[in-house]
Amino acid sequence: SAKDANGGVYRRYNAELESTWQSRAFILHELETALAEGQFEIYYQPVIHARNGAISAEALVRWRHPERGVISPAEFLPVAERMGLIGKIDDFVFAQVCFQIRHWQDNGMGDIAVSINRSAQDFGNLTGRLDWVDYIQQHEIASHLLTLEITEGVLLQRSTETRNLLRHLRHFGVRISIDDFGTGYSSLAYLKQLEVDYLKIDKSFIRDLETDANDKAIIEAIIVMAKRLDIGIVAEGVETESQLRLLTELGCDWIQGFYYARPMACPDFEQFVRDWRKNVSLGKHIF
Ligand code: C2E
Ligand code: MG
Ligand code: MG
Ligand code: MG
């Protein structure tokens, strides 16, 4: 009967909802535990200057789960965003990177610039968040060694809070980089309104660079525009030597990708930096 059918539908709906809420609550609990117990870890991927061999890095968060092993950000960041926990994770990454930059300076590694990602969600809303500028000042962090990577979506928010935060950070020496450039609603207007230090060409343009004339044309145009605007260019997702060659020919400044190295745990990254700098000082042309 209709009543049975309704009852059935109702029960099924309820069961789905229940399992959704159970897993949500479970994941929320897991993420909070991860924050409280220090299960998040920062990996560093080298970013290499294509002409002088200078080395910097991008900080990329990993979740070292006690049972499930290392979990990639693509898996847990969207959940953390939905749960409203992304701000806490980004603040943790920020403070950890600040500590690391200072630690390298104090322990003979010198200056290593690091770029950090900050989620577009609630970007300018500072309620309950770490005050990054305050933190930089209190801990006397060399702010020019910090780059904040934001997506085009952040700039399209056009909120006063967002603009103020970006201006404030930049005023204190933090560099601003547009991540995944070309994949969002690339409104070029913001490039003149807001001072931006770097554009990061998304890896989807790099992948078929050698075979796809359109990708090549787009990259060429981005680089020419950036040069005119005095904005630095980073290419992400560079995996082959011929991609590297092409990008260097086109005038790309910085190269990041598996061709040089994958994101690495801190000790491995430090070893990479030592080896890299040694080779550069020996005049080995490896970039
Ligand atoms: P992203 O900021 O665009 O970072 C670059 C991603 O490309 C990284 O993935 C990196 O491992 C990957 N990659 C680098 N070189 C290559 C390459 O040659 N080939 C390929 N196929 N991939 C390459 P990952 O580490 O899985 O991070 C994914 C995304 O998660 C990041 O993309 C970023 O949007 C986000 N993310 C990572 N850490 C954080 C964080 O601390 N906070 C926030 N809000 N987002 C983060
Ligand atoms: Mg990034
Ligand atoms: Mg990127
Ligand atoms: Mg990307």
**CA 256–ligand 3 middle distance (angstroms):** 9
**CA 7–ligand 4 middle distance (angstroms):** 47
Backbone angles phi, psi at 115, to 5 degrees: -100, 145
From residue 155, alpha-carbon distances to 33, 167, 191, 196 in Å are: 32, 12, 10, 11
Look-up of token digits 């700039």: 155
Instruction: Enter the pTM of the model.
Output: 0.92
**CA 203–ligand 4 middle distance (angstroms):** 6
For residues 56 and 58, give the distance between their C-alpha atoms in angstroms, rounded to a whole number.
7
For residue 93, give the ligand 1 atom closest to its CA: 41
**From atom 46 of ligand 1, which residue's Cα is the shortest distance away?**
117
Contact 71/80 with Cβ under 8 angstroms? no
For residues 274 and 287, give the distance between their C-alpha atoms in angstroms, rounded to a whole number.
15
Q: Tell how far CA 216 is from the center of its chain.
A: 24
- Picking from 16, 20, 93, the residue whose alpha carbon sits closest to that of residue 57 is 93
109 is written with which tokens? 């590694």
Contact 126/87 with Cβ under 8 angstroms? no
* Cβ < 6 A, ligand 1 pocket: 45, 60-61, 72-74, 77, 86, 90, 93, 117-119, 149, 179-180, 203, 236-239, 256-258, 263
Cβ contacts of residue 121 below 8 Å, gap of 6+?
81, 86, 87
- CB under 5 Å of ion ligand 2: residues: 117, 149, 179
From residue 157, alpha-carbon distances to 85, 223, 243 in Å are: 20, 25, 34
Q: Note down pLDDT in tens along the chain; length 287 residues.
A: 334 444 445 555 566 656 666 677 888 899 999 999 999 999 999 999 999 999 999 999 999 999 889 999 998 998 899 889 999 999 999 999 999 999 999 999 999 999 999 999 989 888 999 999 999 999 999 999 999 999 988 888 878 999 899 999 999 999 999 999 988 876 777 787 778 999 999 999 999 999 999 999 999 999 999 999 999 999 999 999 999 999 999 999 999 999 999 999 999 999 999 999 999 999 876 66
